[in-house]
Amino acid sequence: MHDEWPDRRFRDLFLQSGIPQAVIALDGTIAAVNEAACSLFDRRADELVGEPLLSRLPHDGLERSERLLEDLLEGRVRRAQFEHRLLHRDGTSIDALVSAAAIQGPNNELVELSISLQDITALKALERKRLREALEDPLTQLPNRALLMDRIGQAVERELAGNEPYSLLFVNIDRLAAINDSFGHAAGDEVLRAVADTLCGLVRPGDTVARYAGDEFAVLICHPEDPHHAVAVAERAAAALNTTLLGAGWPELHYTASVGLAHGPADTAEALVSAASAAATRAKEFGRGRWHVLGDSARHQMAEQRALGAELTAAVAANGLSVHYQPIVDLRSGNVTAFEALVRWPHPRRGELAPHSFLPLAEALDLQIRIDEWVLREACATATTWPQGDLGPISVAVNVSPAHLTTPGFAAKVCETLRESGLDAGQLALEITETAVVADLALAADVLTTLSEIGVHVSIDDFGTGYSSMLQLRQLPFDKLKIDREFVRALPHSVDDLSICASVVSLASRLGVHAIAEGIEQETQVKALDALGCHYGQGFLWSGAVPASETHQMISATPWLRPTKAGDPRTAAKRNSPSSDPVVLQRARDLHESGASLNTIAASLNRAGSKTHGGLRWHAASVARLLFPQGGS
């Protein structure tokens, strides 16, 4: 046993150490081992000494071990640490952490190698167990979402490198929640396992069946030779999953699944999953137990939405939105009494986007509340700069989304915003839709009552288009009812719409609140609404939403338009055209005849320094009144 120890103490420390250790001669054989190493291999020292170290390694570890041993013996490295599997006497393997170091002689020449071993078999087994749990669905033993996404990502890369086509099936079990509710979760689990078995029986060895989440499965199909294979699998899956499950504890249980199919290539794994999921949703819309493949146009539209979503997220983070303001006018006096704050998105490529173009996307991306809070801050800060109007302080109306209204702390956030801006609570109106309060009427009533008590006003927006009853709305402290533009559009010619508007105005009067009509574009509508007793209106007749910088001019320019008796020549002139300058009218006509849009004409008139009668900038609505006057009443 290696009798040439330079130091007896070193030998004793080596032999008695609890760490398995060995000394390796320059020819790669074992020169000495301690008792701990003998126990690790279940062999005597005389059985190990003289044996090549590499004989203790399984075949799959030889190549790497040979390189490391060669580096040590030839002096290229002084130390090395690596993991290897070692062979036990019974043929089983031991996971070991191997630490090797060069031992030098008196003249710094390499004499031997010192090897220490740490048994990490249990640790590696635990790591493998955790990895399996991280990548495997425990119920079905299928790959889970994480492993699926990794394999889809690999397919995307292979397709880019070698044009190897692939497709993804997305399988959604129809009404699994109802099965769980009716028969218990044990029945639902049996359905999930049955679906997993069915899908595995439909695919080839190279394909991947995974449980994506809950009642959703996915099948990644690689089809380098048969482009129609994925379609065939989708058809068979929809048919095979329209079946009945027999089990103990419940009667015959029938279930179906909706199957969506999306073909590669895709930019990312997430894009392919989104496309296949959308196809499954479309299949479900056609009827349960069907399959649907997503076409190129739908894929393109989804890609556009993903890009727009990423841009919107970045814009919100960078305060890249803007707030415009549409005036609310007193119909009797023609004075501006308030502005409604409306968010806009100045998109770098698509131009200025109106709320309906991006707010549904913002809600899907969970950005709506952040946008609401930002608009509230901007609107309150802007309102503090407005001069006093002829009828009193100018108010600002801010829309509140349903999700925001019932968010914990909403009332406190409004109060905090008022304090920070310095705006009087009486100058703030919150506009809520009927649907915003129906979901949780009691909570909405508590929140709005708290704000009403400090002076904040409340308007019910789009009244008449929701599903609430007046009995429900009476529980809320509101000041105004807004008549939806759909009921104003055909006034005064539509008898039905006239009756609806009359009913809303009458109802508002009985409740002691005011009515605001939206979407007013013609003076005849103003006259009809005023005759019904409607107090306020807003619409393109006066102005669309404008930047904050133009609101001061609007306030000072009023009164704009008030209902007057027919035949008044001054009223007729004002009604027929927002400008009496013949040069302005001729320029607008020339541009219109050349094919220019109303927005283009407005921009041209503004660049030339022209203003309307009220001293305002031109907009599409005012250009329309200039080119197409309504004539007499």
366 confidence band (pLDDT: 50, 70, 90): confident
Give percent above pLDDT 70 in the chain.
86
Instruction: Say what the pLDDT of residue 533 is.
Output: 87
Please give the mean pLDDT across all residues of the chain: 82
Distance separating alpha carbons of residues 108 and 114, to the nearest angstrom = 15
Q: Tell me which residue has tokens 């509230």.
A: 376
572 confidence band (pLDDT: 50, 70, 90): very low
Selection from 201, 260, 255 nearest residue 230 by Cα: 260
Distance separating alpha carbons of residues 578 and 600, to the nearest angstrom = 17
Instruction: Say what the pLDDT of residue 3 is.
Output: 54
Instruction: Say what the pLDDT of residue 538 is.
Output: 94
Cα-based distances in Å from 308 to 216, 237, 267, 363, 373: 26, 34, 15, 13, 21
Q: Determine the average pLDDT of the residues in 381-403.
A: 90
Instruction: Say what the pLDDT of residue 576 is.
Output: 47
Instruction: Say what the pLDDT of residue 183 is.
Output: 86
pLDDT, tens digit, 9 for 90 and up, residues 291-316: 998 876 666 777 777 788 888 888 88
Instruction: Please report, as a single letter, which amino acid is at residue 522.
Output: Q
Instruction: Say what the pLDDT of residue 577 is.
Output: 63
Q: Taking 90 as the threshold, does the pLDDT of residue 161 lie above it? A: no
Identify whether the C-beta of residue 552 lies closer than 8 Å to the C-beta of residue 610.
Answer: no
Identify whether the C-beta of residue 581 lies closer than 8 Å to the C-beta of residue 610.
Answer: yes
Instruction: Say what the pLDDT of residue 159 is.
Output: 79
Under DSSP, the state recorded for 28 is S
Q: Taking 80 as the threshold, does the pLDDT of residue 468 lie above it? A: no
Write out the two tokens for 498.
Answer: 């006239």
Report how far Cα 180 is from the mean position of its chain's Cα atoms: 29
Instruction: Say what the pLDDT of residue 566 is.
Output: 39
Instruction: Say what the pLDDT of residue 168 is.
Output: 93
pLDDT, tens digit, 9 for 90 and up, residues 398-410: 999 888 888 888 9
Instruction: Say what the pLDDT of residue 563 is.
Output: 57
pLDDT, tens digit, 9 for 90 and up, residues 6-61: 556 667 678 778 888 888 888 878 888 898 888 887 888 888 888 877 665 554 55
Where is mean pLDDT largest: 249-253, 374-378, 389-393, 583-587?
374-378
Instruction: Say what the pLDDT of residue 239 is.
Output: 92
Distance separating alpha carbons of residues 304 and 298, to the nearest angstrom = 10
Q: Determine the average pLDDT of the residues in 103-124.
A: 83
Instruction: Say what the pLDDT of residue 297 is.
Output: 67
Instruction: Say what the pLDDT of residue 327 is.
Output: 94
Under DSSP, the state recorded for 242 is S
pLDDT, tens digit, 9 for 90 and up, residues 319-363: 899 999 999 999 988 889 999 999 999 888 888 888 888 888 888
pLDDT, tens digit, 9 for 90 and up, residues 265-295: 888 898 899 889 989 988 998 888 889 988 7
Q: Taking 90 as the threshold, does the pLDDT of residue 196 lie above it? A: yes
Q: Taking 80 as the threshold, does the pLDDT of residue 199 lie above it? A: yes
Q: Taking 60 as the threshold, does the pLDDT of residue 181 lie above it? A: yes
Instruction: Say what the pLDDT of residue 107 is.
Output: 80
Distance separating alpha carbons of residues 543 and 524, to the nearest angstrom = 16
Q: Determine the average pLDDT of the residues in 486-492.
A: 88
93 confidence band (pLDDT: 50, 70, 90): confident
Quick check: helix, strand or coil at residue 68? helix
232 or 444, higher pLDDT: 232
Q: Determine the average pLDDT of the residues in 85-103.
A: 79
Instruction: Say what the pLDDT of residue 443 is.
Output: 83
Q: Taking 50 as the threshold, does the pLDDT of residue 220 lie above it? A: yes
Distance separating alpha carbons of residues 618 and 632, to the nearest angstrom = 23
Distance separating alpha carbons of residues 529 and 536, to the nearest angstrom = 9
Give percent above pLDDT 90 in the chain.
26
Instruction: Say what the pLDDT of residue 321 is.
Output: 93
Instruction: Say what the pLDDT of residue 569 is.
Output: 33
Q: Determine the average pLDDT of the residues in 552-570.
A: 61
Distance separating alpha carbons of residues 115 and 546, to the nearest angstrom = 79
Write out the two tokens for 573.
Answer: 């002139």
Write out the two tokens for 301.
Answer: 């539209």
Distance separating alpha carbons of residues 524 and 537, to the nearest angstrom = 13
Q: What are phi and psi of 531, to 5 degrees?
A: -65, -30
Instruction: Say what the pLDDT of residue 208 is.
Output: 92
